[in-house]
Copies of this chain bind each other. A is one copy, B any other.
Amino acid sequence: MKPMNIGLLGVGTVGGGTHAVLLRNRDEIARRAGREIVVRVAAARDLDKARRVVGPEIELTHDPFMVVRHPEIEIVAELIGGTDLARELVLAAIADGKHVVTANKALLAIHGNEIFRAAQERGVSVAFEAAVAGGIPIIKALREGLTANQIEWAAGIINGTTNYILSEMRDKGATFDAVLNEAQRLGYAEADPTFDIKGVDAAHKLTIIAALAFGIPIQLAKVHIEGIADLAQVDICNAEEFGYRIKLLGITKRVAAGIELRVHPALIPHRRLIANVEGAMNAILVKGDAAGPTMYYGAGAGAEPTASAVIADLVDVTRMHTADPDHRVPHFAFRPDRLSDVPVLPMGEVHSCYYLRMPVVDRPGVLADITRILADRKISVEAMLQREPAEGQEQVDIIFLTHMTQEKDINAAIERIEALPMTSGSVTRIRIESLDGK
């Protein structure tokens, strides 16, 4: 059978990695796919640099639309990133009847509904295994591996940069700023790390996970997002003392009232496997009603892990490209006419357990005032810790771990506690996720 011709948009880290793996494992991939998969033409900004990456045999162009409309290309791999030009290119490829493989989570989180609708109407596939958690086949697991299940929740470490930073803060007892600087020096964090550390990148991926888990549209604007820039070393140590690790999690959960969609740091019991995922690695824990908890672990970024996912999609599309679209797995796991309009819950409606650290002046009555406020809101305390103030200091931290409670009650209680005359600063509030799979 003649080779499947791929058009590459972008010859950067992921584009270069995809070409390298396709070439190196050419025979292995053909043994599986039934035909060779070869890059035929690629668009890049710097053609000299691209030529050094892809070698002499591939047609190169400055014009990505030439790739998209190339008559001999059947699948376009969009690996340029960004959302404006990428959207135009992907929609143009779809309009031209081409299948698309993309690693672009921002594109899907922002324009996914439009893109998948267009693909559906044109009868082509848009595959995106590489958009979430790099080399981990989590899209396939959610979409095909767990089809029997009502997914109850999914919680993932889906941003390697922040997991690296948190791992280092814990291991080395260093501050956020110090570790971030080191991470930038080593190339684990970008020069502008805003999207990573503010949780936006994780939110992009979470919207995709939630769409697949629950058959809902992509709803980026409804994700509650908190990053890790405000995390203090002292909270990481306190968490440890109570038997928890702090991780930045993307969490989506189906509860009676709707769907939770949230990215924030969370305390996880240290004996959970996912609490032990360290460095830049990713892991996604999924709770299905039949399968129970399953977890998927691996490298969430990097040239070759991401290429592994891009190529898995290329093989899938190659196998199915002449098949009746009805035989294909639906983009969002659920048939497009059977999507759900379950609402996303506002964060105030979410229930969680909480870690609260309150800086107070150590005077008689302070504990009575605080516990009164918690009791008024029916917030039940699971554990409490108050240390002796340091020599010559009046201020002391009181730490509470609460039982399950609603976020708006915690917020109201915090507001009252912060207004107490003996509270000497703002209250630190970090959610606790037991992730116990029951």
Residues in chain A within 8 A of chain B (CB atoms): 17, 21-22, 24-25, 28-34, 129, 134-137, 140-141, 144-150, 215, 273, 276-277, 288-299, 302, 304-305, 307-312, 315-316, 319-320, 322-324, 326-330, 333-335, 338
Contacts and interface: CB of A to CB of B under 8 A. Distances in A.
Given A31-B338, A148-B315, A308-B288, A327 B327 contact: yes
5 contacts: A32-B215, A135-B290, A137-B144, A145-B312, A322-B327
B312 A292 contact: no
B308 A21 contact: no
Given A21-B148, A137-B146, A141-B141, 6 more contacts: A25-B289, A32-B333, A137-B294, A148-B311, A294-B297, A323-B327
Contact of A298 (B135, B137, B292, B298): B292
Given A25-B150, A147-B29, A298 B291 contact: yes
Nearest to A285: B297
B296 A292 contact: no
A28 B294 CA distance: 19
A194 B15 CA distance: 51
Across the A-B interface, give the 3 residue pairs with the lowest CB-CB distance, nearest first: A137-B145, A148-B311, A135-B291
A335 B294 contact: no
Contacts of A288: 135, 308
A91 B30 CA distance: 29
Contacts of A311: 147-148, 290
A145 B316 CA distance: 9
Given A288-B308, A312-B147, A320-B327, A136 B294 contact: yes
Given A288-B308, A290-B304, A305-B292, A141 B148 contact: no
B276 A215 contact: no
Contacts of A329: 319
Contact of A31 (B32, B296, B302, B334): B334
A320 B144 CA distance: 13
Contacts of A308: 146, 148-149, 288, 290-291
B276 A312 contact: no
Contact of A304 (B292, B293, B312, B315): B292
A145 B314 CA distance: 11
B323 A307 contact: no
Contacts of A330: 32, 34
A30 to B, nearest CB: 8
Nearest to A321: B327
Contacts of A30: 338
A33 B330 CA distance: 9
A145 B326 CA distance: 21
A335 B307 CA distance: 22
B294 A135 contact: yes
Nearest to A129: B145
Contact of A335 (B34, B129, B309): B34
A33 B24 CA distance: 36
Contact of A291 (B34, B276, B305, B316): B305
A269 to B, nearest CB: 13
Contacts of A307: 148, 290
Contacts of A291: 134-136, 298-299, 304-305, 308-309
A277 to B, nearest CB: 7
A6 to B, nearest CB: 13
Contacts of A309: 148, 291
Given A32-B334, A290-B304, A298-B292, A25 B148 contact: yes
A288 to B, nearest CB: 6
Given A25-B149, A32-B333, A150-B28, A312 B135 contact: no
A381 to B, nearest CB: 30
Contacts of A290: 17, 21, 25, 135, 304-305, 307-308, 311
B147 A140 contact: no
A312 B148 CA distance: 6
A34 B147 CA distance: 12
